Structure 1
C-alpha cells in the first residue's frame, strides 16, 4: 500500500513540475488601488491554492482539537476475574455391559 501511495505522490510531483516548466510566464495581478503585481503563473497559482487551503485546514484542525477535548475520560478497566472451573455434580455412570460395570 505504501508503494502505491509513493507512486501517486511521485506522479503528482511530476505533473506539477511539467506544468510549472511549461507555464513559466510572468502574469500581472491587479491588486487594490491600481497596484499591479507581476508574478510567474505557477507561483501565483500556488499562492491562490494556499489562500484557499490554509483557512480550511486550520478550521478542520481546530474542530478536531475541540472534539478531542470533549471526549469523556477513559473508564478504568475492571480487573478480570479468573473463570471458575466447571465441576460436574453428578458422577459419571458406567456403561451397561462393560467389564467394570457393577451388576
Structure 2
C-alpha cells in the first residue's frame, strides 16, 4: 500500500512539472485600480489550487483532531467503567452464613 501511495505522489509531481514546463508563459492579471500584474501561468494555477485547498485541508485536520479527542475520552471512560470491581455475588450457601441483624 505504501508503494501505491508513493507511486501516486511521484506521478502527480511528474504531471505538475510537465504542465509547468509546457505552459511557462507570462500572463497579465488585471487587479483593482488599474494595476496589472504579470505572472507565469503555472504559478497562478498552483497558487489558486493552494488558496482553495489549504483552508479545506485545515478544516479537515481540525475536525479529525477533534473527533480523535472525543474517541480517546470515550475510550478512557470505558476503561474506567471496566476497572470498577463489581459487587460480590452471594451464593445461597454464603447467604445462609450471614447473621440477621439483631432486633431489640
Output the TM-score relative to the length of structure 2: 0.63
CA apart distance, 1:40: 0.4
Matches within 5 A, 1:23-62: 23-62=23-62
Local SS of the residue matching 1:24: coil
Structure 2 distance, partners of 1:78, 1:66, is 26
Partner residue, 1:100: none
User: More helix by proportion, 1 or 2?
Assistant: 2
Q: Which runs of no fewer than 5 residues in structure 2 stay unpaired?
A: 85-104
* TM-score computed with the length of structure 1 as normaliser: 0.64
Q: 1:73 to 1:10 in 2, by over 3 A?
A: closer
Classify 1:10/1:73 alpha carbon distance in 2 versus 1 (closer, same or farther; 3 Å): closer
Structure 1: where are the runs of 5+ without partners? 80-103
Q: Measured at CA, do residues 3 and 40 of structure 1 come closer, stay the same or move farther in structure 2, by a change above 3 Å?
A: same
Report how far residue 64 of structure 1 moved: 2.1
Shift in Å, 1:47: 0.6
Query: Once superposed, what is the RMSD of the aligned Cα atoms?
Result: 2.1
State how many pairs are aligned.
79
Q: Which has the larger radius of gyration?
A: 1
Offset of 1:78 from its aligned partner?
4.5
> Which is worse superposed, 56-65 or 40-49?
56-65
Residue 11 of structure 2 corresponds to which residue in structure 1? 11
Distance apart, 1:73 and its partner CA: 4.8
